[in-house]
Chains A and B, each alone.
Chain A
């Protein structure tokens, strides 16, 4: 019985918001496939199939094989684990850093704020991609984890600005002043009163950074700074590119990783939109507008009838 109730509420919510439904489905598909890779492919990611180099998709190998004779489908699934994990890792670092910096600057104001803002502005001026490439090129070919760290450490300024602005606007709200006059400590006010009011922003910030991190990671590896021995989406694309896959018509080697990147990224973006809708009711207007226009047409008909003298059952004053 309880399960039925739960199901109906969730189902209703998903029906109302197609964005959430589609987004969640996409993410779930990718996650299930990559995390449960063992269930979906009998092979290992580094398993080589002699004689089957650049083989087209067949019953045995759904997405064919790579230049080195490895199964594309298997590599996509296992590689997805690494890519997503690194993405989450990088996203977490970035969000944590930007939260701490942003909230501190916003709440304490004054000199602290000025100093932090200057630092943020300096880092923001440097184009992120260039910074990433410079660091990556200095360190040489690096593991996916290292890439994750670099991404996390260079992409926090954007978030910091947003959290700073939000904290500043919340700081002047009367319930914060009320906590101060009550004698609450500043730290407690920060974490118990201010931060929970920013939860939706923090969540969507995390998801946004996650998307960016996966893209950036794939990009760095695609350009060639990743570890050639690792199996990730970006590295697969790099392998395909350096061995001339596209020019020889070997589309399956590229399809695997790109499709998954796109699907996962699209799913996360849709979830982000629906979080926006949840926290800002005005955006739910689309659903109401359909209802509205239907009603409007009906009423216009009714009013036109009234104007031309037909009596309606609502009836005017005689």
Chain B
């Protein structure tokens, strides 16, 4: 399977009164066709910024200052406005965190689908648009009669399904999910995620899944990438990162989720507070909170080491399981 999306050395800065804050610093990753990549991290790590930058939806004062985002050989950052319009939603589409952020509250679902089809030149016929919308709603599990409802008449889970249906309307190659289920309950969350994965198998699109819930991500994604303070610190297949995390932050994150089975033992989480991007220290960004920090960590930024089908950036990686 070839790679669908290649991100090389992406840098995104926020222009503030006191200078530039680099929210995303030289991040590179690859999403393969038909596979799902999970992007995990806490607040301020830059994952939402990356999601918005992939479709060039980032608003001022965010500015992409370097890097390439290649899809099908073309660099998204070099597309003109017209090409970008054709490209958005057809090739990549996005499901935002809160459905009420993307549904127009004063317009019925039917009309929203119609506007979608009209803008992208699929059809200008209301009947045709309704038929296509009903098909889509059936796929995500909403009864077609709800097409006439306003967004506030649907429950939270249904609204999110409607948003997913809209995102899949033009059969995109890549679906970006930005914390799609954070505002929902566990049962609804699982339902929706399982539905998305069924659809992924059926239509063969790739997924970029952004969340802070690592345990959820490990269940659903093929590959997991972990970010801290704007840098990508480790990427590995999800089973491997669960059993054998190399970066201390990945290890600490894994240890922040108590399990439902087995013995209840004392867990530490990660001591300290998240890094303030206005004062980035010399050397590795994780130095303040790392239990394996040594002198070199305070002086040099770690380079990239590949191992085990993934890579990480650390001077003193963990080796929980000996490699064969």
**A residues neighboring B (CB under 8 Å):** 284-285, 287-289, 291-292, 295-296, 299, 302-304, 306-307, 314-317
Contacts and interface: CB of A to CB of B under 8 A. Distances in A.
Contact of B61 (A292, A307, A315, A317): A292
A317 B68 CA distance: 10
Interface of B: 8-9, 13, 15-17, 20, 28, 60-61, 63-68, 75, 77-78
Nearest to A290: B15
Given A303-B77, A307-B77, 18 more contacts: A284-B17, A288-B15, A288-B60, A289-B61, A292-B15, A292-B60, A295-B15, A295-B63, A296-B63, A299-B63, A299-B64, A302-B65, A303-B64, A303-B66, A303-B78, A304-B78, A315-B9, A317-B8
Which label, helix, strand, loop or mixed, suits the secondary structure of the B interface?
Answer: strand
B66 A292 contact: no
Given A284-B17, A287-B17, A317-B9, A292 B63 contact: yes
Contact of B28 (A285, A288, A306, A317): A317
Contacts of B17: 284, 287-288
Nearest to B13: A295
A4 to B, nearest CB: 22
A86 B13 CA distance: 52
A284 B66 CA distance: 27
Contacts of A295: 13, 15, 20, 63, 65
12 contacts: A285-B60, A287-B17, A288-B17, A291-B15, A292-B61, A295-B20, A302-B65, A302-B66, A303-B78, A307-B75, A315-B9, A317-B9
Given A289-B60, A292-B15, A307-B75, A299 B65 contact: yes
A283 to B, nearest CB: 13
Nearest to A293: B60
A291 B13 CA distance: 13
B78 A316 contact: no
Residue among B13, B66, B75 with the highest chain A CB neighbour number at 10 A: B66
B66 A314 contact: yes
B9 A288 contact: no
Contacts of B67: 316
B69 to A, nearest CB: 11
